[in-house]
Structure 1
Amino acid sequence: MSEVPVAADSPARRPPSAVLVAPDKFKGSLSAAEVAAAVAAGIAEVRPEVPVRSLPVADGGDGTVEAVVSAGFRRLRTVVTGPAGEPVSASLAIRGDTAVVELAEASGLHRLPGPPLPLTATSSGTGELVAAAIRAGRRRVVLGVGGSACTDGGAGMLTALGARLLDAHGRDLPPGGAALLDLDRLDLSGLDPRLSEVEFELATDVDNPLLGERGAAAVYGPQKGASPEQVELLDRALHRWASFVGTEHVDAPGAGAAGGVGFAALSLLGAKTRPGIEVVLELLDFPAALRDARLVITGEGSLDTQTLHGKAPSGVARAAGDVPVIAVAGRCLLSPPELEAAGFRAAYALADVEPDPTRSMAEAARLLRRRAAQLARDHLQG
């Protein structure tokens, strides 16, 4: 957490209580830290005497490692297998006994070197990050599972941790969800025995089951490039995968997260599911940052109906309690009653001053600073 220096009006006057800026990223334009910096700069133009505390947040998806590193976790870099099988440089974060593993760092859509690979993308690199956390001696692993490129049911993650997936000829299956149709034997004898000593938390805002019309393939497969025919194939493959792993958790909320990585974590790693933003705010010690705050500013790229279902801004609004909360965003698709019901006093969108989305994204920092200055005029007088 960073704090903008305070310029008090006079030595005799006590500075006003702080503003806490706790945004998520504006996807495609600004990181959470850049959003916080732009908001702080806009406030400083109008009310330079008001201290601003910056606490970038995330909901378990991409940006989670960055958020906890900015709050004091140590970054650990390593090279792992990317979703297309190529090596990629990825990070996890460690502090004390805890490691934060962000699936998107290793197996995210942005890690693909080219077009989407819905049938063959693998979660292997995520398992390699988990293995790195265990080698580093951590006994609690927070697994953030947003933004994946794969629909392999977490099979790749498990192979990286020592499992073997074999076909009818005793050969190891190739990576990816489609290959699960040929699964004939699941050998877990080689799983790292230290896994039983680790407490896993699955940080996700996804409550989808593994299979069916609300499952990993049907809901998220198209976002990863899957055609309708490929969605049907992947769902059949995940059915076969579940028949070997066990069906106890197929309908559990979060089993469909990250193309079924949630299912593997719940079934074979003993993970417990928690809302991603709740876990991240706990790791960031949000209550300490909130202390003496007069106003909280949060936000994300698009305030819409998804925001209301566990995304970072709504989680921040809940955690803020009685402290007023204002949202900033690239665009706001929520009505005033919806904003109020979610705990937001107001929302300031870049689209209100620049309706062209291409220009708005390209000039997001400047526009956000401008909107933050207006926010300060409206809510930080007196």
Structure 2
Amino acid sequence: MKIVTAIDSMKGSLTSKQANQIVAEVFRDEKIEVTEIAIADGGEGTVEAFVTNANGEVISVKCHNLLGDEITADYGWLGEEKTAVIESAATCGIQFLKGTSETHPHNTNSYGLGEQILSAAQKGAKRIIIGLGGTGTIDGGIGLLACLGVEFFDSQNQLVSPIPRNFKKITRVETQKMPMMLKELEIIVAADVKSTITGEKGAVYLFGEQKGLQSNELATFEEEMTHYSKLLLEGAESQEGDGAAGGIGLALRAILQAKVVSGLDLIAEQSHLPEIIQQADLVITGEGKIDSQSLQGKVPVGIGAMAQKHQVPVLVFVGAMQGESDEFEKAGLSVIIPIVNEVTTLNEALMYAEQNLRQAAERTKKLLFLLT
């Protein structure tokens, strides 16, 4: 019997690699061959997934977070392919927000992401994959662009500090000082957020309140973002993915000609997941919580679609489940198995995630063998 494990990270408890290892240890025996594929959708775990699947390495660099504080952040390096893999959240993640005026979206930026891009380019990268997810900024990528040599001027021809508070002051954007090596890079944005830069489902209205905006600030911030984005777009239309990571998607596409792709599809291609699934008898996936939003493109549903093409059944281990089972069955998810055994707090569920996942896997294996 051939089993594939491709379990997404369970936020706050287990990485994709850890979850796969736990389940593989339970199922693997003399009759069962298990292939472990680290997986992510462009957010948390993207670097680990690429590094694990390609036997790459992790590079640590000194850079700055969204507040301008010096930190050490990691990115993945796939030497044979001369490819760097960066998670935008490593420098501008929502984990750095403190809920103070200092961390208000008007005052934070993505400069640190630019520092990571520069580091990778200087290391000799020919291609950079940037995962957009879990960010705490809504800066339209102005910080990272400034780090890469893009200049923003006001009506008095004075340089403008690259923070969203100054969006409305900007009248001109110049890219002449960007290093040539950046213009020659292939940049791929891994994002499963389909929003445009502005509008009801844009960077401001969709995620602004999560990142510190008050509801009565949304309209003003939207006006400021509209002014700024028009300067980057130069008359062109915003595209799906531009609003990802608070508009970082727009900056990378409009100025660095980045290609925006599905994060899950990118990792699936790199790891040959569709071909591996085709040869499997069973696929095991999972995530922390599955609900109706998961049907919009979360990892388990994406894997369910791959398996459905070849009539391969899919088991899904989850921390929590909301929604109707038949909805998920139509999406290719055969059985969803919550791993929590009793009424518990969120902290306890996170603390005992490894134990709960292992026990759920053991029960599932016994059931499978009763049925075969």
Please report the TM-score for the alignment, with normalisation by the length of structure 2.
Answer: 0.91
Equivalent residues in 2 for 1:1-382, closer than 5 Å:
17-43=1-27, 49-71=31-53, 72-95=55-78, 96-112=81-97, 116-246=103-233, 250-287=237-274, 289-290=276-277, 292-320=279-307, 321-322=309-310, 323-351=312-340, 353-354=342-343, 356-381=345-370, 382=372
Q: Is the 8 A contact 1:40 1:52 kept in 2?
A: yes
Q: Please list every run of at least 4 consecutive aligned residues from structure 1 whose deviation after the TM superposition is greater than 6 angstroms.
A: none
SS of the residue 1:118 aligns to:
coil
**Distance apart, 1:243 and its partner CA:** 2.5
Q: 1:306 to 1:250 in 2, by over 3 A?
A: farther
- Superposed CA deviations along residues 291-326 of structure 1, whole A, max 9, x for unmatched, are 642211111111112211121112222233422211
- How high is the sequence identity, in percent, across the aligned residues? 29
Q: 1:247 to 1:380 in 2, by over 3 A?
A: farther
Structure 2 residue runs without a partner (length 5+): none
Give me the whole-angstrom Cα distance separating, in 2, the residues matched to 1:224 and 1:19.
40
Give me the whole-angstrom Cα distance separating, in 1, the residues matched to 2:52 and 2:217.
40
Superposed CA RMSD: 2.1
Task: Answer with 210-219 or 27-36: which moved more.
Answer: 27-36
Give me the whole-angstrom Cα distance separating, in 2, the residues matched to 1:198 and 1:307.
33
SS of the residue 1:61 aligns to:
coil
Structure 1 residue runs without a partner (length 5+): 1-16
**Distance apart, 1:230 and its partner CA:** 2.9
Q: 1:380 to 1:148 in 2, by over 3 A?
A: farther
Q: 1:63 to 1:117 in 2, by over 3 A?
A: farther
Q: Is the 8 A contact 1:84 1:113 kept in 2?
A: no
**Distance apart, 1:102 and its partner CA:** 1.3
Q: 1:249 to 1:131 in 2, by over 3 A?
A: farther
Give me the whole-angstrom Cα distance separating, in 1, the residues matched to 2:59 and 2:346.
36
Task: Answer with 94-103 or 154-163: which moved more.
Answer: 94-103
- Which amino acid letter does the alignment assign opposite residue 30 of structure 1? L
- Which amino acid letter does the alignment assign opposite residue 69 of structure 1? V
Q: Is the 8 A contact 1:329 1:350 kept in 2?
A: yes
SS of the residue 1:22 aligns to:
strand
Greater per-residue helix proportion: 2
- Which amino acid letter does the alignment assign opposite residue 360 of structure 1? A
**Distance apart, 1:149 and its partner CA:** 1.0
Q: 1:251 to 1:20 in 2, by over 3 A?
A: same
